[in-house]
């Protein structure tokens, strides 16, 4: 009878262990999938913002206030200047502001629309289209999902909304007019006259292209059109569309230029290293202080032999009191998550075909 009870207990323990292992594998896989979505939706945007900030800091563009009091830049008469007249692939051309997307919304615009440009530089200019201020169609592209989703809210644009382009010396204020949805092979929307292909251009237009639908595999392109309203000089201040006037009559730029800590960091490698260093130091302190009380209790028979459980095993094998063991495990998990964001997910998105197709990821140094 005793032997039968022992065998029954052993069988139950094995069964529980198998169920626990399967559950842990499934939960871990679900957590990794959730983290991948977080990487795609958040961290790629942080890295893109970091690169954009570096691009802005790398050029010697004057501030609109000229170091003094900020004023409203008045619309200029005459033909708009074209700036830049040319640009190399990946070169910073402009900074873009769309107040409808929020006061703090700002993206850089570089020459080219390859994934290397769009993934890290915000917006890209179609090299075959016109330049800012030029007669014809100034066409740009950007992601609608992931990588900071610069054009994620194009469906919120309303007629008359401002699309402001700031080059080195000039402001070009375009006014949103309408949108259309086309198939990816419709190149007419980035031609000189997208509203009447084949005819000579008569307007100075802007066209923004992005994916449609937003959250599933894109089958079409969402095309937003606008027309140049006026141009102004950066030396004269900021356009009224980008300014607030306070109770004292002082002009304030709506974008305060603040960036997050993660944007300034741009890499999670320091988080990985810092977590592991903190873990190592705390591990040694706890080992010298209290050693391994959980394992000792099992050896001495004060606790029953545990079932097979990876996370419980990991927790038991940390030194020190229970609270410190939790801290040690959390430090390991933090290092693991940061490593996935920094190296694991980029590798998966670049090497696993269906993830590469889903994320539009390219490895960019």
- Cα gap 235→228, rounded to integer Å: 20
Instruction: List, in sequence order, every residue forming a beta bridge with 238; answer none if it has no partner.
Output: 72
- Cα gap 330→96, rounded to integer Å: 41
Looking at 143, 220, 244, 317, which residue is catalytic? 143
Residue 67 Ramachandran class (φ > 0 left, ψ -120 to 50 alpha, else beta): left
Active site residue 286: no
Token readout for 317 is 């094998």
168 CB-contact burial (10 Å; exposed 0-12 / middle 13-18 / buried 19+) = middle
- Cα gap 208→165, rounded to integer Å: 12
Active site residue 211: yes
What three-state secondary structure class fits 47?
helix
CB proximity list for 342: less than 8 A, separation 6 or greater:
267, 268, 269, 272
Whole-Å CA distances, 283 to 278, 292, 318: 8, 11, 7
Looking at 125, 211, 220, 244, which residue is catalytic? 211
Whole-Å CA distances, 109 to 21, 106, 118, 121, 194: 49, 10, 9, 7, 21
Return the active site residues.
143, 211
């Amino acid at each position: 009878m005793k032997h039968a009870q022992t065998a029954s207990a052993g069988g139950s323990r094995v069964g529980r262990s198998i169920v626990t292992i399967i559950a842990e594998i499934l939960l871990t896989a679900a957590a990794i999938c959730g983290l991948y979505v977080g990487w795609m939706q958040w961290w790629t945007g942080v890295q893109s913002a970091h690169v954009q900030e570096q691009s802005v800091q790398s050029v010697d563009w004057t501030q609109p206030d000229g170091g003094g009091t900020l004023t409203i830049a008045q619309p200029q008469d005459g033909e708009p200047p074209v700036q830049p007249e040319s640009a190399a692939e990946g070169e910073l051309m402009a900074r873009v502001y769309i107040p409808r997307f929020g006061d703090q919304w700002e993206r850089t615009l570089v020459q080219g629309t390859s994934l290397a440009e769009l993934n890290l530089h915000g917006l890209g200019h179609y090299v075959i289209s016109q330049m800012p201020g030029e007669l014809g169609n100034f066409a740009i592209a950007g992601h609608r999902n992931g990588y900071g989703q610069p054009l994620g809210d194009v469906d919120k644009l309303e007629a008359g909304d401002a699309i402001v382009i700031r080059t080195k010396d000039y402001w070009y204020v375009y006014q949103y007019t309408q949108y259309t949805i086309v198939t990816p092979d419709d190149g007419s929307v980035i031609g000189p006259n997208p509203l009447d292909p084949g005819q000579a251009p008569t307007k100075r237009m802007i066209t923004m292209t992005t994916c449609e639908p937003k959250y599933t595999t894109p089958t079409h392109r969402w095309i937003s059109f606008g027309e140049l309203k006026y141009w102004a000089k950066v030396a004269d201040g900021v356009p009224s569309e980008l300014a607030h006037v306070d109770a004292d009559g002082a002009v304030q730029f709506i974008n305060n230029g603040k960036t997050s800590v993660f944007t300034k960091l741009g890499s999670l490698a320091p988080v990985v290293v810092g977590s592991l260093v903190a873990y190592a130091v705390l591990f040694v302190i706890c080992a010298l202080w209290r050693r391994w009380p959980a394992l000792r209790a099992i050896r001495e028979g004060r606790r029953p032999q545990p079932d097979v459980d990876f996370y419980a095993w990991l927790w038991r094998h940390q030194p020190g009191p229970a609270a410190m063991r939790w801290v040690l495990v959390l430090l390991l998990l933090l290092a693991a998550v940061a490593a996935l964001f920094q190296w694991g997910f980029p590798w998966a998105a670049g090497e696993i075909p269906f993830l590469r197709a889903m994320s539009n990821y390219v490895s960019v140094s």
